[in-house]
């Protein structure tokens, strides 16, 4: 009997430790969020701020006066409530593992779901880098600059391979613009591309021969996200 009691105590302790470990570190939602809400009342968009302390969150939409509270019940799920000029009710929120997005349903107190919502966290812009994989699409005369492109970066120097045939060698001339030369089976010339604010796309122009010649084509690059 004593051995059984000891086993039960150990089992409970292990289970409690497992739950505590699982709940130890939910993703942080603190910050500003863009929200799109849909339901029987139509579709609306807005901005809310969220402050998280441990497992609890508090949110506010300054424009509408709606407030939100909630508690993580596991790593990715929040049970919450909302209140505002239009009434009060419940929320069920499912959070992405990195804490950058969520989705869920909402309703009035004592009623079934009235609609759904998605939220995306407003993140600071990431540092601009050419390194990684890209997909090039023609935006005019693309020439041979279409399809996959892979770039490596060392300091200001950038080396890219378009497919297996074209090599681009360049340098950052400003924080967001690369000026380069290209060599391929059909000749050589210059290539210039500049990044958009999201650091996941760029616009480019290219020409034949020396970089004093006018551009003859234009392409758009989109980062291949892992």
Residue-range domain boundaries for the chain: 27-121, 132-223
CA-based radius of gyration for the chain: 26
CATH match for 132-223 among 2.40.128, 3.10.580, 2.40.480, 1.10.260: 2.40.128
Please give the structure tokens belonging to residue 111. 């009623």
Please give the structure tokens belonging to residue 59. 């949110």
**Fold: same for 27-121 and 132-223:** yes
Say what the pLDDT of residue 226 is.
Answer: 66
Say what the pLDDT of residue 140 is.
Answer: 84
Residues with pLDDT less than 70, the chain: 1-24, 226
Say what the pLDDT of residue 225 is.
Answer: 79
Please give the structure tokens belonging to residue 51. 């402050």
CA end-to-end distance (rounded Å), the chain: 55
Give strand pairing partners of 171: 157, 179
**Greatest C-alpha distance within the chain:** 92
Say what the pLDDT of residue 23 is.
Answer: 55
User: What is the C-alpha to C-alpha distance for residues 119 and 34, in angstroms, rounded to an integer?
Assistant: 6
CATH code of the domain occupying 27-121? 2.40.128.120
Please give the structure tokens belonging to residue 142. 């693309």
- The b/e string for 145-157 (b: 16+ C-beta within 10 A; e otherwise) is beeebebeeeeee
Say what the pLDDT of residue 12 is.
Answer: 40
Contact between residue 130 and residue 160 where contact means Cβ atoms under 8 Å apart:
yes
């Amino acid at each position: 009997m004593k051995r059984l009691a000891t086993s039960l105590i150990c089992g409970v302790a292990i289970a409690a430790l497992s739950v505590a470990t699982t709940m130890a570190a939910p993703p942080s939602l603190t910050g500003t969020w863009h929200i799109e809400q849909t339901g029987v009342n139509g579709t609306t968009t807005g901005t809310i701020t969220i402050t998280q302390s441990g497992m609890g969150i508090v949110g506010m939409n300054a424009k509408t006066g709606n407030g939100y509270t909630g508690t993580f019940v596991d790593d990715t799920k929040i049970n919450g409530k909302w209140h505002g000029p239009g009434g009060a009710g419940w929320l069920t929120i499912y959070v992405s593992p990195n804490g950058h997005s969520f989705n869920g349903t909402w309703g009035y107190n004592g009623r079934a779901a009235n609609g759904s919502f998605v939220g995306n966290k407003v993140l600071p812009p990431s540092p601009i880098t050419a390194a990684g994989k890209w997909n090039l699409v023609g935006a005019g005369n693309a020439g041979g600059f279409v399809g996959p492109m892979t770039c490596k970066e060392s300091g200001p120097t950038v080396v890219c391979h378009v497919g297996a045939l074209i090599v681009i060698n360049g340098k950052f001339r400003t924080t967001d613009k690369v000026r380069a030369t290209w060599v391929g089976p059909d000749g050589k010339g210059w290539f210039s591309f500049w990044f958009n604010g999201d650091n996941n796309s760029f616009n480019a122009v290219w020409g034949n021969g020396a970089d004093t010649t006018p551009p003859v084509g234009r392409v758009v690059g989109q980062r291949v996200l892992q």
